[in-house]
């Protein structure tokens, strides 16, 4: 039986695809839950870029990603990937390489802030493009990552989304599943996906955990 989500039909194929992708992403290495208070003390270097609205990576030029509202677990996985070199970025590698997994968990808890969730009565902005049919299996039609290891795309900078997908396509980010998806996309497809997810506004749900403490 097919399942219809906000006008987008997710077939058995995409439900099966979800489990394939889920198993392809390694869980963050074992650590206790992140401590946002301690993370606020560790993440001062992160705020030099991610704490400045619309701050741009100089070369290539694109806005650095918004971290507020991401799953902390996803942020840990991303930082581990920068640390190991699975994601290619010299500055991020240099910043992540000195931290242990528990440090990353603490920083993830601080940087993520309140979780983004679909607000009551919220509907997607516009119709999901056909090229997004595979994406919704993990990132949702609203752009909310449906599992803690998946990034939330809703409201993210379009130029950052384009850069991330291009990196997966070209091998700058080494993930076999994402490389397969992105490898089939044209430059126009990538722009279409970025344009769709950047305008999604599903709402902010702060009921699950308190906002992290301010930087000290």
Instruction: Identify whether 172 is part of a domain.
Output: yes
Count: domains in the chain? 1
Domain-embedded: residue 203: no
Q: What is the pLDDT of residue 14?
A: 40
| 3-state per-residue secondary structure call for the chain | CCEEECCEEECHHHHHHHHHHHHHCCCCCCCCCCCHHHHHHHCHHHHHHHCCCCCEECCCCEECCCCCCCCHHHHHHHHHHHHHCCECCHHHHHHHCCCCHHHHHHHHHHHHCCCECCCCCCCCCCCCCHHHCCCHHHHCCCCCCCCCCCCCCCCCCHHHHHHHHHHHHHCCECCHHHHHHHHCCCHHHHHHHHHHHHCCCCCECCCCCCCCCCCC
Q: What percent of the chain clears pLDDT 70, i.e. is strictly above it?
A: 79
Give the span between the Cα atoms of 76 and 82, in whole angstroms.
10
| 40 belongs to a structural domain | yes
Write the pLDDT tens digit of every residue in 170-216: 999 999 999 999 999 999 999 999 999 999 988 644 444 444 444 44
Q: Is residue 149 part of a domain?
A: yes
Query: Largest Cα–Cα distance of the chain, in whole Å?
Result: 52
Is 7 inside any structural domain?
yes
- Are β-strands 8-10 and 56-57 bridged in parallel, bridged antiparallel, or unpaired? unpaired
**Each residue's pLDDT tens digit, 120-175:** 888 899 999 999 999 999 999 999 999 999 999 999 999 999 999 999 999 999 99
pLDDT at 32: 64
For the CA atoms of 95, 97, 102, 104, the dihedral, rounded to the nearest 10 degrees, stands at 40
- In whole angstroms, give the CA distance from residue 202 to residue 213: 24
The enclosing domain of 149 has a CATH number of 1.10.760.10
215 belongs to a structural domain: no
* Structural domain span for residue 151: 3-22+30-198
Indicate if the pLDDT at residue 19 is higher than 50.
Answer: no
Determine, yes or no, domain membership for 210.
no
């Amino acid at each position: 039986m097919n399942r219809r989500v906000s006008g987008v039909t997710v077939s058995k194929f995409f439900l099966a695809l979800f489990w394939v992708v889920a198993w392809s992403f390694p869980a963050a290495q074992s650590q206790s839950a992140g401590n946002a208070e301690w993370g606020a003390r560790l993440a001062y270097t992160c705020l030099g870029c991610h704490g400045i609205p619309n701050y741009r990576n100089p070369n290539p030029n694109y806005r650095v990603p918004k971290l507020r509202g991401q799953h902390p677990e996803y942020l840990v996985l991303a930082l581990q990937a920068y640390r190991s070199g699975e994601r290619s970025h010299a500055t991020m590698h240099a910043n992540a390489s000195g931290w242990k997994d528990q440090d990353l968990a603490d920083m993830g808890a601080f940087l993520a802030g309140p979780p983004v969730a679909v607000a009551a009565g919220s509907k997607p902005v516009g119709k999901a493009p056909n090229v997004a049919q595979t994406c919704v299996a993990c990132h949702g039609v609203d752009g909310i990552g449906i599992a803690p290891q998946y990034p939330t795309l809703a409201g993210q900078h379009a130029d950052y989304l384009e850069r991330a997908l291009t990196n997966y396509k070209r091998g700058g980010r080494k993930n076999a599943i994402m490389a397969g998806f992105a490898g089939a996309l044209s430059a126009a497809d990538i722009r279409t996906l970025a344009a769709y997810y950047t305008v999604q506004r599903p709402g902010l749900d702060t009921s699950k955990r308190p906002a992290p403490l301010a930087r000290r």
